[in-house]
Amino acid sequence: MNLLRLSLPALPPRAARLLALLRVLARHRAALVGLVLLALLAAAALLGPLWFPGDPWDMAGPPMLWPGEDPAFPLGTDFMGRDLATGLVSGARVSLLVGLVSTALASTLGVAVGAIGGYYRGWIDAALMRVTEIFQTVPKFVLAVVLVALFKPSVATAVIAIGIVSWPPTARLVRSEFLVLREREFVLAGEAIGMSHARLILTQILPNALPPVVAMSTLTVATAIQTEASLAFLGLGDPNVMSWGTIIGSGREQVVDAWYICGLPGIAIVLTVLAFNLIGEGLNDALNPHLQQR
């Protein structure tokens, strides 16, 4: 008696690669911890306004309430009576927004510069690398402070400034990948059949050069969040937006008597940066074929 076998349709190549990546990440404990932390942060940013709907700038209660002292203010209040829980939720939204958007800007600039330099080589590559070196010789945070100070401090200004100072490492990474892939057989075959330079870059080389860029982007997000918090601590953040750096800056005078005002947003920054670093470690292991063979 013949048995009927039901065969599942084959997945598209991109879906198969994504599924394989998810399987590797599922076996990576550090990446799982990072994903859990990031999920909690995203939940706080998205659902926090439902739990703590007040304005983070409002003087909602008595000043200097410690966490747990009053059920109405589970994380306490600062020296002006502002609810710290509402402020931390607002800071989560700002940190994710600044980190993700500035990283997208930095990755776009870095990929464009690295791809053009690594593909065309010669004087074009030399000129682009000299520009990259100029940006790398100036301390990133100092340059970010100067850029924000030149314009009106706002979330948009912080995003642009952080993106501008964060692209050189991505550019160098993409350039090195393009220099290697430029001489591969599939690229030479594309040239032989008459593919344009733009098509070779976008459809043949760039997809193969992106995996390390994806892994680096998670670290760029973490650095961007730290930079935004530092700018806000120095008073260069958006004056209309409550961020973690703003809370730390406003509570530094009470750090001895009420350390929790600086401690709670500091812990939030540490956990957020740790989450992206752990995810980046997992992506690096998943996307690196040499590490997969261990």
Tokens of 13: 């190549």
Query: What is residue 236's DSSP assignment?
Result: -
Query: Which helix (H) or strand (E) element contains residue 227?
Result: helix 206-233
- The model's pLDDT over 36-77, given as tens digits with 9 standing for 90+, comes to 999 999 998 888 888 888 889 988 888 888 998 888 889 989
- Angstrom distances, CA of residue 45 to CA of 91, 96, 131, 283: 8, 8, 37, 24
Confidence (pLDDT) at 153: 86
Confidence (pLDDT) at 274: 93
pLDDT confidence band for 117 (50 / 70 / 90): very high
- Model confidence at 7: pLDDT above 50: no
CA distance 261 to 85: 11
- Model confidence at 124: pLDDT above 70: yes
Confidence (pLDDT) at 289: 52
Task: Answer for the pair 204, 56: CB distance below 8 angstroms, yes or no.
Answer: no
Confidence (pLDDT) at 250: 87
Q: Residue 249: how many CA atoms within 13 Å on its side-chain side?
A: 16
Tokens of 228: 């935004």
- The model's pLDDT over 180-205, given as tens digits with 9 standing for 90+, comes to 998 888 888 888 888 888 999 998 89
Backbone angle region of 277, left / alpha / beta, with phi > 0 → left and psi within -120 to 50 → alpha: alpha
Mean pLDDT score across all residues of the chain: 86
| Rg of the chain over all Cα atoms, to the nearest angstrom | 23
Confidence (pLDDT) at 6: 42
Q: What is the pTM of this model?
A: 0.86
CA distance 29 to 181: 32
Confidence (pLDDT) at 267: 94
Confidence (pLDDT) at 3: 41
Confidence (pLDDT) at 156: 92
More confident residue, 267 or 30: 267
Confidence (pLDDT) at 4: 41
Beta bridge partners of 83: 77
Neighbours of 152 (CB within 10 A): 10
What domains does the chain contain, in order, with CATH numbers? 83-292 (1.10.3720.10)
pLDDT confidence band for 20 (50 / 70 / 90): low
CA-angle at 274, arms to 166 and 208, nearest 5° = 55
CA distance 229 to 1: 70
Confidence (pLDDT) at 106: 95
Tokens of 141: 């945070």
Cβ within 8 Å of residue 114, ≥6 positions away: 170, 171, 172, 173, 174, 175, 176, 177, 178
Please state, for a pLDDT cut of 70, what percent of the chain lies above it.
Answer: 88
Average pLDDT over every residue of 125-152? 91
Confidence (pLDDT) at 195: 87
Average pLDDT over every residue of 110-130? 93
- Model confidence at 176: pLDDT above 60: yes
